[in-house]
Structure formats: C-alpha cells, structure tokens
Amino acid sequence: MFRSGVMVFILCIISILTSSALGVCPDSPEHFEYTDETGGTYSIVVEGADLWFQGLEIGDEIGIFDGDLCVGAACWQDPPVGITVWQDDSQTGLVDGYICGHEMSFRIWDNSRGIVRRVKAHCSVGDGRFCTGAYSMVTLMKRGPEPFKIPLAPAPVRNPEAKSIAPNR
Ligand SMILES: [Ca+2]
C-alpha cells in the first residue's frame, strides 16, 4: 500500500519534470481569456491545422470566438485538440458566452511572434455554428487574401457620333 503510494508520487514528479522539459501545454491557455462555468457548453475538436509554413508550435493557442468575444481556448498540441466553449449565461446581464446559431470564428496566438492571427476552419462535423449537433470537428486553414472588389458602377454608354440609337424592331 505504502509502496504503491510512493510509486505514484514518484511517477507524478517524473511526469511534471518531463512535461515542463518538453514544453507541454499548461493546464489552461494563457493568452486568450474567456468566461467559463457559465452553464452550457459545446465541444469543438480541432483535428488538424493546415496553416503557415512553420506550422503550429507548443505554446501557440487556439481561441474560439463568437464575434469578438472569446468563448473558449486551448493550447496547441498534437491533434486532435478538444476545446470546450461556454454558452452565454442567461442569468447575467452581459453576453459572456456563445449564442446558439451564431457563427464560430477561430484565432491563433502565435507565441513565438507575439501576434494573433485569424484563421478559417473547414468543418468535417457541424456547419460552423455553435450548438449544431453534439459537437463540431474542424481543420484550421489559412485565410485566403481578401476577395478583390470590383466597383459595380454602370459603364458609360459610348456613342461618340451622337447618333440616335433606335431599338431593333
Ligand atoms: Ca449573460
């Protein structure tokens, strides 16, 4: 009995030492802030990331947003990464979590550069909205360049010889 307790203690110490040496995720994300324990939750599984060349690294974080409100986050590690997001608490006046049916958006904290990048997500389960089905499964992807906008002003009609134009009859 005593001996197994000591073994567990030693294993705990070893796992703590090796995890800090390998840079394993902290218990909770350190960059993105959100309100937890609001009541309702939804689960999002990140099954992979097809992002910039160097890929994601330990220390990077994934934040999930409803508009500009972060509703859950997790440290990056070998996928799949499960992330719990928190629903708005109807008992509080302010919006402190996601609203069912709202579109999810994703941001990455790039720890080595100290910047937040917005990314898009391809859903293999779910439709990109909170509360659809039991959970969502996504792959994070680079956002393409912003779509080039062509102004849709009507082109002037050229009629340099000022001839009258009669419709065909
Ligand atoms: Ca609320």
Q: Distance between CA atoms of 48 and 106, rounded to whole angstroms?
A: 13
Find the 29 Cα to ligand 1 centroid distance in Å.
Answer: 22
Domain contains 89: yes
pLDDT tens-digit profile of 3-55? Answer: 666 666 655 555 544 444 445 677 778 899 999 999 999 999 999 998 876 67
Q: Distance between CA atoms of 82 and 141, rounded to whole angstroms?
A: 17
- Helix extents (H) in the chain: 2-22
Domain contains 62: yes
* pLDDT value, residue 19: 44
Find the 36 Cα to ligand 1 centroid distance in Å.
Answer: 12
* pLDDT value, residue 20: 42
Find the 131 Cα to ligand 1 centroid distance in Å.
Answer: 17
Domain contains 153: no
Domain contains 32: yes
Find the 81 Cα to ligand 1 centroid distance in Å.
Answer: 27
Among 51-60, 125-134, 139-148, the minimum mean pLDDT is found in 139-148
Domain contains 137: yes
* pLDDT value, residue 146: 57
Per the structure, how many domains does the chain have?
A: 1
Domain contains 125: yes
Domain contains 7: no
3-state secondary structure at position 99? coil
Find the 132 Cα to ligand 1 centroid distance in Å.
Answer: 20
Find the 7 Cα to ligand 1 centroid distance in Å.
Answer: 46
> CB neighbours of 87 closer than 8 A, spacing ≥ 6?
38, 39, 40, 41, 42, 71, 97, 98, 99, 100, 130, 131
Domain range for residue 112?
25-141
> CB neighbours of 49 closer than 8 A, spacing ≥ 6?
55, 56, 76, 79, 119, 139, 140, 141
Domain contains 66: yes
